[in-house]
Amino acid sequence: MYSCKTNDLTVLFYMIKVRNYKVYSLLLYNMYSLYLCGIIDRKQAQILTFITYIGCGISAIFLALTLLTYLLFEKLLRDIPAKILVQLCLSLLLLNLVFLLDGWLALYPAVGLCISTAFFLHYFLLTSFTWAGLEALHMYLSIVRVFTPYLSRYMLKFSMIGWGLPLIVVIVVISVDKNNYGLVTYGKYTDGTSDDFCWLRNDIAFYVGVVAYFLLIFALCLLVFIVVMVQLSRIKKQNPQNQPPNRGVMTDLRSIAGLIILLGLTWGFSLFAWGPLYLPFVYLFTIFNSLQGFLVFVFHCAVKENVRRQWRTYLCCGSLRLAENSDWSRTATQNNRNMSVTTATISAPHFTSRSSSVISNATNSSGMFTGHNLQCLACIFIQIYHNIL
């Protein structure tokens, strides 16, 4: 199916294919090794395999926790950035689950099962790219153009693009030829063994339906990230008095890291994975992208004050429970109300100043959780994490 090439242009395109062949670099590494005519260190491949599957499993768990947090606490889901985040997390969760099942399902001889698996793997990969791009578009509209609220049915239009556009792509791919999806032998090692995976089999379908799509979204996200950083830096210099007194360099770096994870810019490591830097950047690519779901949870749940306040208010009991009218609660609310456009936007995912006061209204949802022992145990970990931060 794949053969060894020798000219430089083919090497470049093949490496692009290798780097973006699958969501995680277990496949990237193995596909690249196939280009090298089977010359590969089996030990390195196994290490990347373990990192990939462990990272995917961890990400799936924490993506589910992120979804539960935002769906159970209604106040967190009132602004547009939070709604986009939920859609992105759902897409990433489904992508991780399909990926984890793919290698196992590829063992079965049923052709239709493998085609279906590859179809959904391709679909959820594209939806993850698309929602990251929509997050970038929302940031641009909110910070640079500042007219988001005037767009009617904003989230409906975003949802149609986020879930509909990738569906059109995969339907076109399978309509042209259903055999574009199927069983692919992507690993060939020096000991003669190989691995199988359900994925795209046609090169043209791959370049158009994955590589071009990814490059377009990645360029959009990178461009918006640069524009937003420049815009926020300009606003910060023009209005230094609007900056909270407790906002330091680490807070800004944490916010920037959150944006990088949210926009999927860690995929950029693949652009440097060639030549002598190939193996180090493959490891960076593997670690950051397989753990993307976990990092989303950290930057957009664990370190966000309003999310931790919801946890302590409704998950904790006894002395660790935070009353809705407590000093810490009122301080958190007041800080959010006083935040400028700069502060509100840079603290992803709440990128608009209109959404900064979302947490000021109380809801009566304390009855949604039961089991005081479990609540207290969960709250102990929350309190420890809060003290560390």
Backbone angles phi, psi at 199, to 5 degrees: -165, -170
Per-residue confidence band for 238, with pLDDT thresholds at 50, 70 and 90: confident
- Across the chain, mean pLDDT equals 74
- Rounded distance, CA 167 to CA 317, Å? 45
Q: H/E element holding 29?
A: helix 25-35
Identify the band that residue 11 occupies on the pLDDT scale cut at 50, 70 and 90: very low
Quote the percentage of the chain above a pLDDT of 70.
Answer: 65
Task: Number of helices (H) and strands (E) in the chain: give both, helices first.
Answer: 16, 2
Q: Please say whether the beta carbons of 326 and 129 come within 8 A.
A: no
**Per-residue pLDDT tens over the stretch 200-227:** 999 999 999 999 999 999 999 999 999 9
Token pair belonging to 212: 């071009």
Give the list of residues 6+ apart from residue 132 with CB closer than 8 angstroms, or none.
88, 217, 221, 262, 263, 264
Is pLDDT above 70 for 383?
no
End-to-end Cα, the chain, rounded Å: 52
289 pLDDT band, cuts 50/70/90, is very high
Residue 138 in any domain: the answer is: yes
- Asked whether the beta carbons of 76 and 332 are under 8 A apart, the reply is no
Q: How many CB atoms lie within 10 A of CB 38?
A: 15
Q: pLDDT band for 173, please (50, 70, 90 cuts).
A: very high
Q: Is residue 171 situated within a structural domain?
A: yes
pLDDT of residue 12: 33
Could you tell me if residue 3 is inside a domain? no
Q: Are 187 and 194 in contact (CB under 8 A)?
A: yes
Is-contact 123 166, C-beta < 8 A?
yes
Whether 244 is covered by a domain: the verdict is yes
Average pLDDT of the residues in 118-140:
95
Confidence of residue 163 (pLDDT cuts 50, 70, 90): very high
Q: Is residue 381 part of a domain?
A: yes
Which of 11-15, 90-94, 107-111, 231-235 is the least confident region? 11-15
Q: Which residues pair with 199 in a beta bridge?
A: 182
Residue 35 to residue 22: CA distance in whole angstroms = 16
The per-residue pLDDT for 267 is 84
Expressed as residue numbers, the domain containing 316 is: 8-388
Separation in Å, CA 16 to CA 19, 92, 240, 266, 271: 5, 22, 43, 15, 8
* CA dist., res. 302 & res. 314, Å (int): 15
Minimal CA–CA distance to 128: which of 98, 172, 154, 171?
Answer: 98
Highest mean pLDDT out of 142-146, 266-270, 366-370: 266-270
Q: How far apart are CA 244 and CA 143, in angstroms?
A: 19
Token pair, residue 34, equals: 């196939």
The answer to whether the CB of 311 falls within 8 A of the CB of 297 is: no
Residue 113 lies in a domain: yes
Matching residue, tokens 């007194």? 245
> Could you read off the pLDDT of 245-258 as tens digits, one per residue?
666 677 778 788 88
Is 146 domain-assigned?
yes
Helix (H) or strand (E) holding 169: helix 165-176
What pLDDT digit, counting tens, does each position of 97-112 carry? 999 999 899 999 999 9
Residue bearing tokens 């660790």: 320
Burial classification of residue 202, based on how many CB atoms lie within 10 Å of its CB (0-12 exposed, 13-18 middle, 19 or more buried): middle
Domain of 293, CATH number, reads 1.20.1070.10
pLDDT, one tens digit per residue, over 324-381 is 655 444 444 444 444 333 333 333 333 333 333 332 332 333 333 334 444 444 454 4
* 1 within domain boundaries: no
Q: Are 270 and 19 in contact (CB under 8 A)?
A: yes
Quote the pLDDT of residue 114. 95
What's the total number of domains in the chain?
Answer: 1
CA atoms of 102 and 82, how far apart (whole Å): 30
